[in-house]
Homo-oligomer: A and B are copies of this chain.
C-alpha cells in the first residue's frame, strides 16, 4: 500500500535475491478499509516510494550483474475496480474473494470485510502479474495465512513467501501507521513487542504451553499502559492460534506451533487512536 518503510524494502530485497525480475505493486486498496477507517488519510508518499525503490539492489553471483526493481505497478482505483468500489460494503457489487473460516477471526472480527478486501485485491494483483513468487511480511500474519490459502484453493501458480517482521531498534514492528504516533508514544509502544517476546521466551524455556498463561504474560507486561488512571492504551485482543487454521488454541503443541498475536489501540498525535498489531510464531 505504499508509504514504504524498511519492512517493505526487506520484501523487495528478498525478491531481488531470489527472482529474475521484481515487480513492486503500490496500491492503497479501498475495499479493505471500512467507511469509518483511514482510507482518505492513509499515508501516500508515491514519489519518495519510487526513490526508495530505486535505491534497492541486489548483487548476484556474478559481480557484473546487479539486480534492481524491474517495474512498479501503481494502478488507479478504476483500473483495479473497473466497475467502481464504494467503501460502504452494502453498496458493493461485483466479484469478491472471501476466505471462509480464516478471514472472520482475529483481525477479521474487529474489521469485518477486511480480508475479503485483501483476498480480492491480492487475487487481482496475482492475476495481472502471474508472478512465480509473491512476498508478504510476517507482521500481517493473518494476511499471509489467508493469502496462502486462497492461492492454494483458487489454484494460482504463485509461491507465497513470508518475510520476517522488520523492527525499530526498540523492537516496535515497522508500520506505515507508525507515522501517526508522537515520538514518546512510539517509544512506549516498544512494550508491545517486548510483551510478546517475554511470552516467547517463557514458551521456549518450557515454562508454559498453556495459551491462557501465555496470554497472561503479555497482559501483565502491558498492564502499566492498559490499566489505571494514566493508562492510555486500549487492548483489542491477545490471541494464541493454530498457524494454518487460525483456530484458537488452549495449548501450544511443540511441532504444531502457534501464532501469538496482539492488536492494541495506542494514542496518536492527532488526539485519537491508532491500532497497532504484532505477532510472534511459536514453533
Contacts and interface: CB of A to CB of B under 8 A. Distances in A.
A112 B130 CA distance: 32
Interface in A133-161: 149-150, 152-157
Interface of A: 80-83, 92-102, 119-120, 123-124, 127-128, 130, 149-150, 152-157
Nearest to A79: B155
Max chain B Cβ within 10 angstroms of own Cβ: one of A83, A101, A128, A153: A153
5 contacts: A93-B100, A94-B149, A96-B99, A124-B155, A127-B157
A123 B83 CA distance: 18
Contact of A80 (B92, B95, B155): B155
B150 A95 contact: yes
Count chain B CB atoms within 10 A of each CB in A83, A101, A155 and give the residue with the most: A155
A119 B97 CA distance: 10
A96 B98 contact: yes
Contact of A152 (B82, B101, B120, B154): B82
A95 B127 contact: no
Given A82-B152, A83-B149, 17 more contacts: A93-B100, A93-B101, A94-B99, A94-B100, A94-B101, A95-B98, A95-B99, A95-B119, A95-B150, A95-B153, A95-B154, A97-B97, A98-B98, A123-B123, A124-B153, A124-B154, A124-B155
A94 B153 contact: yes
B155 A97 contact: no
A96 B104 CA distance: 14
In this complex, which of A92, A119, A123, A154 has the most chain B Cβ atoms within 10 angstroms of its Cβ? A154
B94 A95 contact: no
A89 to B, nearest CB: 9
